[in-house]
Amino acid sequence: MEEIRSLIADVPAVWRDLDHLKQAFVVLKAIADFTFCGLTPLLFGKTHMTLRTVTLMPLVALCFVSSDAAMFFALSKAAERTQIWIGLLLVLYSLVFFWWAQYTMKTFSGLTAAFSDDAPTFLITSGPWAFVRNPLYSAYLASLLAGFIVTSSSNHPDHGHAFLVSHAGGIALSALLVVFSIYYSAIREEEAKFDSSKLRSKYEAYKKKVWRFLPLGDVFGR
């Protein structure tokens, strides 16, 4: 608890150490991650949730929080402007695809959370789903990837919170890998449900045209 109080007390000083570009990145990423962790649970049906849904989604939120905390305290010494610009583009991508997906989902009802045990009754191929098969997962991972990119060169034990700053890149990478493994497992299960449903042929055709995480289908001719 003492370490947490110390971190909170240091927030204003750390914020003042950031230049305007880094401050803009922190604000935008905080908005994105708060939206993803706070709003997402409210958007999906809860009638088919399983024990894994209830246990793994809080773990995902913890990964976002730990990655963001490490990033914030390391950012003043960890990132070049190029890294920040790349991070900003990734966070903007994540927000655009997240809200675009929400707008598209307004015309569909019955979407359920990750690891739910329901069978698919429809296939969305419009909106961001026309570019990437899993736009929401893609958005979440893009934000975590941004956090890793801006902390990947962190190695400054002279900071007041030496462990957090020196290991910020490792913390951000660990969070990214943990969340990726959870989402990848969820996606594999969702794909298996399509393969055993009446939508199998449509989904197989869709898979051949659209990538799982990256909106690169047209680029590589898929």
Q: Which residue has the tokens 């799982």?
A: 212
Taking the C-alpha atoms of residue 81 and residue 20, their distance in angstroms, rounded to an integer, is: 11
- Looking at per-residue pLDDT, the higher value among 189 and 88 belongs to 88
Question: Could you tell me the two tokens for 113?
Answer: 């959370």
- 215 within a domain of the structure (yes/no): no
- 195 within a domain of the structure (yes/no): yes
- 218 within a domain of the structure (yes/no): no
- 93 within a domain of the structure (yes/no): yes
Tell me the average pLDDT of the chain.
82
Out of 54-63, 152-161, 180-189, 204-213, least confident range = 152-161
pLDDT value for 161 = 47
Q: Band the pLDDT of 55: cuts 50, 70, 90.
A: confident
Residues 6+ apart with CB under 8 A from 11: 72
pLDDT value for 157 = 46
pLDDT at 14 > cutoff 90? no
State how many domains the chain has. 1
Taking the C-alpha atoms of residue 29 and residue 27, their distance in angstroms, rounded to an integer, is: 6
pLDDT at 128 > cutoff 60? yes
Out of 72-76, 80-84, 151-155, 158-162, least confident range = 158-162
Average pLDDT estimate for 110-115:
67
pLDDT value for 108 = 73
Taking the C-alpha atoms of residue 142 and residue 161, their distance in angstroms, rounded to an integer, is: 27
Average pLDDT estimate for 188-196:
86
Q: Three-state SS across the chain? A: CHHHHHHHHHHHHHHHHCCHHHHHHHHHHHHHHHHHHHHHHHHCECCCCCHHHHHHHHHHHHHHHHHHHHHHHHHHHHCCHHHHHHHHHHHHHHHHHHHHHHHHHCCCCCCECCCCCCCCCCCCCCHHHHCECCHHHHHHHHHHHHHHHHHCCCCCCCCCCHHHHHCHHHHHHHHHHHHHHHHHHHHHHHHHHHHCCCCHHHHHHHHHHCECCCCCCCCCCC
Segment of 5-19, 38-52, 62-76 carrying the highest mean pLDDT: 62-76
The domain of 168 spans: 2-209
